[in-house]
Amino acid sequence: MIRLIPLRSYKPGYRSWIAIWIILLLLLWEGIAWILHASMSPQQASSRLPYLHDVVMALFRHAGTLAEQGSVTFGNAAIGFAGGTLLGLALALLMSIAVWLERTLSPYVISSQMVPVIGLAPIVYGIIHNAEWARIVMAAYVTFFPIIIHTLKGLKSTAPEHLELMRSCGASLPAKYIKCLLPSALPGLFSGMKIAAPLAVTSSIVVELMGAPDGLGVLMVSSLYYGNAQVGMFWATIMLSMGIGLISYLVISLAERWLTPWQPEFRTKRGGAA
């Protein structure tokens, strides 16, 4: 007797959908570039959207320079991201201790984000007069706010019965945070980190556009200066910056899966993997 397999078992998984969307996006890029090159001169078309294969060739041709400058941008962004994460976590823990602390600090935390990065970057760079530290400060600046918001939400989502159990056991404040509150806040912390990681890279590049001596932002500005002669290099720096942000997001997602396996989306489903 032939056994029929349910149709739902043929449904593509999450990774398959990501691959499909990436392929469609790349085909769309090539299609639009072909239309532009067919309707105008090659110089005009390349200045608007070059062929994807030309950008890939530029990535390989300038791999050494891109790797060197990309490591500068990523290194400063990573340091600022780590510092902003620690600062945001510390402030979230402090604000969770008492309601009056949250009400006192919240206006300052929110008002700190009212200044756009593009406006704050030249101010910070002008005060510090050090491109490396300016990139670190700006990366930390865009990081700590989403960390505070999501971590504080996670701390508040702790089950009341768990807190009651800790109180009935006479647990101290540090024990309550370590055994109950912090595990509840971890999913929120990782959500904030996934939002902040690409922003940290972007903020570092913004500082580099203000006149830093090195980094991907410098390559972008110099490529624009040479016009069509370096259009492949310009798009290659954009692709690399996107890749750095995507890799940062994926690394944090893997760490979240490893450190918070109790979340519903990470649990092994009956009859197959999640």
Burial (Cβ within 10 Å: 0-12, 13-18, ≥19) of residue 272: exposed
pLDDT tens track for 157-212: 888 887 778 788 877 778 888 888 888 899 999 999 999 999 999 999 999 988 78
Mean pLDDT score across all residues of the chain: 84
Predicted structure pTM score = 0.82
pLDDT of residue 11: 46
pLDDT of residue 173: 79
pLDDT of residue 180: 85
Q: Look at residue 218 and tell me whether its pLDDT is greater than 80.
A: yes
In CATH, the number for domain 72-261 is 1.10.3720.10
Q: Look at residue 66 and tell me whether its pLDDT is greater than 60.
A: yes
Q: Look at residue 5 and tell me whether its pLDDT is greater than 50.
A: no
Degrees, nearest 5: CA angle 243-241-18: 30
pLDDT of residue 273: 46
Residue 7 DSSP symbol:
G
pLDDT tens track for 235-252: 899 989 988 988 999 999
Residue 11, phi then psi, degrees to nearest 5: -65, 135
Q: Look at residue 36 and tell me whether its pLDDT is greater than 80.
A: yes
124 closest CA partner among 207, 236, 189, 66: 207
Tally Cβ neighbours within 10 Å of residue 143.
28
pLDDT tens track for 227-238: 666 788 888 999
CA dihedral 98, 157, 182, 250 (to 10 degrees): -130
Pairwise CA distance, residues 128 & 80, whole Å:
15
Q: Look at residue 12 and tell me whether its pLDDT is greater than 60.
A: no
Higher pLDDT, 124 or 169: 124
